[in-house]
Structure 1
Amino acid sequence: MGKIIFTFLLSISLALAQNPVQTANDYTQAKKNATYKELLYVSVKTQKMYHIINNEVVKKYTISTAKKGTGNRKNSNQTPLGLHSVKEKHGDNTPLNGRMIGRIFYGQIATIYKDSSRSKTDDVTTRIFWLSGEEEGINKGGNVDSYERYIYIHGTSEEGRLGKPASHGCIRMSNKDVLNLYNKVATGIKVLILDK
């Protein structure tokens, strides 16, 4: 009986420890003395992004962070950690799977790989959320500035690689998911990226 209770309590503890809402709130409360009504929480460990509104996960997305892991330094090809916000959104008139260069659609539709194939180019497709760091010296300013590093949440031509680290620092989403999210969130929404 005691072993069953211990296992049950351990399961509850692990579930609470992995609760994305609680993890996000704990971080923002500790760093900014605030919680946010709406937030995107990126879990590098699970390769998921959670859209949280009023302390509830309203949508969970499979994503892909950097193949080289996490890190905030310029030219690291790593995904930066910490609290960010969406400074700019791009792609209002870009069609699904449209390939953008310099945040502009020039008429090319990307080939979308549903298997583990790699594209010859690191395609940025459909929509872009350009992130800006919110933590001075961690992801803002100097050689750790996420905005100056061009860190995006964006669609990808390598959809078959979602769910595992494969990017060059950005957060990749499926094209349908990034389009769906783009229509739901405004510029300024907070984005929390943690290696949890």
Structure 2
Amino acid sequence: MILQRHAEDRPAIKAGFGEPPKPTGQRPVLPRVVATPLLALLLLFLVSSCATVDRRHQVIVSIPEQRMALLKDGAPLATYPVSTSKFGLGDLPGTSWTPLGKLEIAKKIGAGAPSGAAFKNRRPTGEIVPPDAPGRDVIVSRILWLRGAEAQNQRAFARFIYIHGTPEERNIGLPVSYGCIRMRSQDVIELFAIVGNGAVVKIENQPLESLVPGLKPVPDRFVSTHNFAPTQIR
């Protein structure tokens, strides 16, 4: 009787409104049939994202030598002169210091841009700045945006610490930057083409020969080296 009373309390179904669908003889499409391709695409994206992380190359920067070593599978591939901060080392907000420790390449910006192409807020301005153009101190050619991997450099990404090209090539080999790691245009273009996102970058306050076994020392680490080509060790 209770069940009957409940049934009688329900409002009558009007024709055309809430009427149960008539059987069509076709099997209903289950949600999992739609979800399966989406799940496959998601898994493919995750796998491809992991595959693009560069674990074969490593960049090591020596502060006292103002020099960078590029490694592949742990073996030296090339070295380049660089320029780090003229203000000092560290990662405090509001400073122009170069951070120390282990970082990684988070973003690569400027692929295909001509040598000397100027960037502002990581966007090309359309201007080409030649090496040692008087009165020009802008970011050129390529940008490799770094993300800190340790507590001592966790603000590096938010502080816009890059490896980038500079028109002030006469000063490469000396600490004159505002926190970033500067390179000659030809060198940063070459580095950009070799390393990928996720590649480890280590910035250390030690000579390269103590960080990279088998690497030859620089005769005079304090002289600007903007006139010599990268030391190829292939």
**Pick aligned residue for 2:194 from 184, 193, 196:** 184
Task: Show the counterpart of 2:113.
Answer: 94
Structure 2: 5+ residue runs without aligned partners?
A: 1-54, 207-234
What's 1:41 paired with? 60
TM-score with structure 2 setting the length: 0.62
Higher normalized strand content (fraction of residues) = 1
d(CA) in 2 for partners of 1:37, 1:47: 23
Counterpart in 2 of 1:193? 203
Which residue of the partner structure matches residue 74 of structure 1? 93
Query: Rg bigger for which structure?
Result: 2
Query: 1:108 and 2:107 equivalent?
Result: no
Alignment partner for residue 178 of structure 2, among 163, 168, 183? 168
Per-residue deviation, 1:194: 0.7
- List per-residue Cα deviations over 1:57-93 (Å, max 9, x = no partner): 1100000000112111122111000100000000013
CA distance in 2, matches of 1:187, 1:66: 23
Q: Quote the residue 1:127 is aligned against.
A: 142
**CA RMSD of the aligned region, Å?**
1.4
Gaps of 5+ in 1: 1-35
**In 2, Cα distance between equivalents of 1:85 and 1:104:** 21
TM-score, with structure 1 as normaliser? 0.74
The percentage of aligned residue pairs carrying the same residue is 34
2:174 maps to 1:159: no
Which residue type is aligned with residue 153 of structure 2? N
